[in-house]
Amino acid sequence: MLDRLWNGWRSQYVRGESDDSAGPQLASNDGLSSSVFTRILQSDLSDEESHIVFRGNTVFAILNAFPYASGHVLVLPYREIADLEDLTEDESSELWATVTDAVRAIKASHRPHAMNVGINLGVSAGGSISQHLHVHVVPRWEGDANFMTSVAETRTLPEPLPETARRIRLAWPHRTPQ
């Protein structure tokens, strides 16, 4: 059985509701089933409120709201597409350059021992938001607590998202968007 650490403030966020402590209102205004990433981009939220750590011309980087580890960043195109092969040449080039910048920033800000970089393409591959392609950049440490998920079915996170975003923004390589 999976144990849970109670994060009551997250329930309103997951439902797309908002108050000052629960996080942003992300309900779709267009009545369509757009991804949470598209709804964040269409909202009036600042980058600080939404935990966006970088904006380029065709892609952006945002903290994972449900991270595997502190510093878990997602890099994705602004355009909501599901398949890697549907990226334009410009999107593909900027996506991979931004993934590299995310790795550099996380290495500088959090000093991990290793990194996981990957994409889940499709629901069956583990893609929980499969309609909007995104690359995971996850810092890892020797002796990290990720064993807790498999042994105790609990995840531990030592740092709040706003602090993680601040640290990564400060460490982000200064590259002019293409």
Indicate which residues carry an active-site annotation: 134
Q: Which residues pair with 52 in a beta bridge?
A: 62
Query: According to DSSP H, which parts of 51-178 are helical?
Result: 89-110, 147-151, 161-171
Which of the 8 DSSP states describes residue 19?
A: B
Judge residue 101's burial from the number of C-beta atoms within 10 Å of its C-beta, 0-12 exposed, 13-18 middle, 19 or more buried.
Answer: buried
Query: What is the edge-to-edge ordering of all strands in the sheet holding 59-63?
Result: 52-55, 59-63, 73-77, 135-140, 114-118
Phi, psi of 150 (to 5 degrees): -85, -30
- The angle, 0 to 180 degrees and rounded to 10, between the axes of the packed helices 161-171 and 89-110 is 110
Which of the 8 DSSP states describes residue 27?
A: -
